[in-house]
Every structure is written in C-alpha cells, then in structure tokens.
Amino acid sequence: MRVGFVGLGAMGLPMTRNLVEKGHTVTVASRSRPPVEAAMAFGAVDGGDAAGVASASEVTVICVPSSPDVADVVDTMLPMLREGKVIVDCSTISPSVEREQHGRVNETGAAYLEAPVSGGTVGAERGTLTLMVGGSAGALDAARPALEAFSGLIVHVGGPGVGQVAKLCNNLIYAAQMLATSEASVMAHEAGIDLRVLHQILTASTADCTAVRTRIPFEGVLPDAPASNDWMPGFMTDLMAKDLDLALEHGAANGLPLLSTALVRQVLTMAQAEGFGREDFSALGKVIRSLANESSE
C-alpha cells in the first residue's frame, strides 16, 4: 500500500519504520530535516511537505503535537484530497477540533479517521500500539492494512470525536495512577520500606497498575523505569499536561466533574516549573519527593 506519514517525532519515526518494514511504500514529511533523512535511510521517500505526502499516498497518517498542528496539516493537504484517499490522525487533540477535521476532509470526497494511540515510544518501536478509532467503519477497513503495521490492537470506538475522548479517558487515568504511585512510593521510602519490596507487594495486590509496574519514581528501583534512566521520556511531562488540559476543556464543556484530573494537572504544572517538562511525566514524582523533604525539615 502507498502510505504517507506526516510528523516524524518520537512516535512517528518508529511508526514509519514499522510501515516500511511491513512492505509499504512510505512517503514522509516532518517539521525538521533530520528525521526525514533518518526515515529515508531505512527506505522511506521524501514527500517534501504534507501536500506532497497526501498526493503520493492512498492512506496518510498524521502524528503531530497539537490541535493547531493537525489543522495546519489538513489545510496543506486539502487541495490534494479526493475520493479514494484516507487521512488518519494519530495525534491526541481536542475532540471538537477533530470533528471539524472530519468535516473538512469528507467534503473533498476523501475519508478521515482519528486514531489516537497508546503505548508510548516502546509501543511505537515494537509495533504494538493501541489505536482508538473514531470515524466510519468503511474508512477503517480501507486504512487497516496500514494501521496494522504499527499496532497490536485497533478498536473502532464510534463516530467523529469519540476516539479522542477515549484517549483522554486513558490518559487521565494514567496520570492519576502516577500521582498515587508517587505518593505511595514516598510514604514507603520515608518509612524505610525497600521500594523493590513495595513493588513486589503492589504488583500482586489491588494497587497493581501500569504506573506501579513501570514508573516507580525513585532511581535504581526498576531498571527500565525513567527514574533509573535520567528520566528519559516514554511520554513527556509537557505532553501529559497538554492532554489533561484537553480533558479538562472537554469536561468543562460538557459539565463533567474531573476532580482528580484537575489535581494531577496542578502537580504537572509544578513539575514544568521545575524544568521537568521534557522529562518523562513520572518526574511529577520528583515534585512529591521534594515536598516531602520540605515538610520533614
């Protein structure tokens, strides 16, 4: 299949590699030149810009940071779209903005899907991402051969916008997990409990969750955790903060009480103020550790 990819960041570049390795002809574009050259080195073709990518491709995937970025990419693509082409947005953006992009693309005769992803950079590299799809079932059938190249699970959630809502649900839960994991880790550490022992207990108990399994926010406890690897991001603090802003915006527009989400967002703000924005979002644990040290002085 002729597949396009716009946005070769930490997620997009490994997703593109999986597409090439699965035998697709992949045309790419990105904001900066180095990732395009990296993609060309493993077999992708330089499309120049989003319009060139859309022109060359049956299915074009977008993976960019924000709602305005997605709208800008769609603006550039629109003149090249027609019946038979499918645009798939794998970014995490506002559900209301996403619904607008569905309408704009569908007016050209092309099809549009949102397919925000979960699984982080590890899932992108391994081709095991979970995709939460909003849009028509027919468009998903057409795009599925491309999407399967970098996914382990593709779920059709419903119509326009609901895939993004599902992704925001996922991320607000994950963020709340991380805050609770941080607080529990600090409590155990202050009591003199070996955090490896705590990890063994929690993963076999009712507290078990992804944050506990992968992101104890103390150095040296879990070898693969960001805390043990200079807080290298699997998912950046700035991006989690952006996603919680989207969730809070959606909640406010629909009269939904997102109390834990608002609390975690405050802690993420503190992490950003401390300069942890481009570190893994588990760096919010450093904020909790710092507050604990201050209160014990």
Mean pLDDT of 193-211: 98
Distance from C-alpha of 28 to C-alpha of 124, rounded to nearest angstrom: 17
Write out 227-244 in H/E/C secondary structure: HHCCCCCCCEHHHHHHHH
pLDDT surpasses 80 at 297: no
* Predicted local distance difference test score (pLDDT) of residue 2: 98
Q: Indicate the pLDDT class of residue 296, thresholds 50, 70 and 90.
A: low
pLDDT surpasses 80 at 20: yes
258-282 core/surface letters (b: 16 or more CB in 10 A; e: else): beebeebbebbeebbeeebbebbbb
Mean pLDDT of 36-61: 98
pLDDT surpasses 60 at 30: yes
Per-residue pLDDT tens digits for 150-193: 999 999 999 999 999 999 999 999 999 999 999 999 999 999 99
* Predicted local distance difference test score (pLDDT) of residue 295: 67
Mean pLDDT of 246-265: 98
* DSSP character at residue 8: -
* Predicted local distance difference test score (pLDDT) of residue 271: 98
pTM: 0.94
* Predicted local distance difference test score (pLDDT) of residue 294: 75
Distance from C-alpha of 245 to C-alpha of 230, rounded to nearest angstrom: 26
pLDDT surpasses 80 at 76: yes
Q: Considering the chain, what percentage of its residues have pLDDT values greater than 70? A: 99
Out of 85, 167, 242, 286, the active site residue is 167
Q: Indicate the pLDDT class of residue 209, thresholds 50, 70 and 90.
A: very high
Distance from C-alpha of 222 to C-alpha of 214, rounded to nearest angstrom: 7
Mean pLDDT of 65-79: 97
pLDDT surpasses 60 at 9: yes
Per-residue pLDDT tens digits for 285-295: 999 999 998 76
Read off the amino acid at residue 216. I
- Of 73, 67, 56, give the one whose Cα is nearest residue 116: 67
* Predicted local distance difference test score (pLDDT) of residue 46: 98
Query: Does the active-site annotation cover 85?
Result: no
Per-residue pLDDT tens digits for 94-135: 999 999 999 999 999 999 999 999 998 999 999 999 999 999
Mean pLDDT of 215-244: 97
